[in-house]
Amino acid sequence: MPKIDIAKVPGITGSGYPAQFRYVAGNRVRQALGDAAGLTQFGVRLTRLPKGAGTSQRHWHVSEDEFVYVLEGQVTLISDAGEEILGPGEAAGFPAGVANGHCLVNKSEADAVFLEIGTRAPHDICEYPETDLRLVRMGKTTVFTNKAGIPYKD
């Protein structure tokens, strides 16, 4: 596979959450480096998180492992264990099926840049312990529902 020209990989701003949950990740920018490399078994994203932004609602996956590695700046990892600061060269991982709701928030004064690496499970459920939100993925279909299973409409 030839070298990836990261500058040519489009950045996606915001999130696919239902409207009332988007505020957390509204101005994060992700570049799908795994897609650019043609990877199918795991994803790799280069994420830029501006001051005050978060990666997501606090969540955990039933079927997907997640791993983050900080390249620049500083982020606050919020999980069931509380808050921890991650800086350049530091990492955190979240095994599939472990109910430890987590997210990253940039509480610093400068942008943070990090890699997000994770499984691409064809079927997954993502739980959001602090909100009335659940993600259900069955193949190419992804639906956000409330805890009762009623889909959100945008």
Q: How many domains are there within the chain?
A: 1
Q: CATH code at 65? A: 2.60.120.10
Cβ atoms within 10 A of the Cβ of 77, count?
20
Distance CA 98, CA 64 (A): 10
Q: For 45-96, how does the pLDDT look when each residue is reduced to its tens digit (9 = 90+)?
A: 999 999 999 999 999 999 999 999 999 999 999 999 999 999 999 999 999 9
Is residue 147 in a domain? no
Query: What 3-state DSSP class applies to 141?
Result: strand
Q: How confident is the model at residue 1 (pLDDT cuts 50, 70, 90)?
A: low
Answer for the pair 135, 144: CB distance below 8 angstroms, yes or no.
yes
Least confident interval from 2-6, 32-36, 84-88, 90-94: 2-6
Give a yes or no: residue 133 inside a domain: no
Structural domain of residue 61, as residue ranges? 6-121
- Please give the span between the terminal C-alpha atoms of the chain, in angstroms, as a whole number: 39
In a domain, 136, yes or no: no
The region that residue 14 occupies, defined by phi over 0 for left and psi between -120 and 50 for alpha, beta otherwise, is left
Residue 135 belongs to some domain of the structure: no
In a domain, 149, yes or no: no
Whether 19 is covered by a domain: the verdict is yes
User: Helices (DSSP H) in 90-149: which residue ranges?
Assistant: none
Specify which residues 77 forms β-bridges with: 84, 104
Residue tagged 């039933």 (tokens): 62
Residue 113 counted as domain residue: yes
Q: Strand, helix or coil at 132? A: coil
**CA 73: distance to chain centroid?**
17
In a domain, 141, yes or no: no
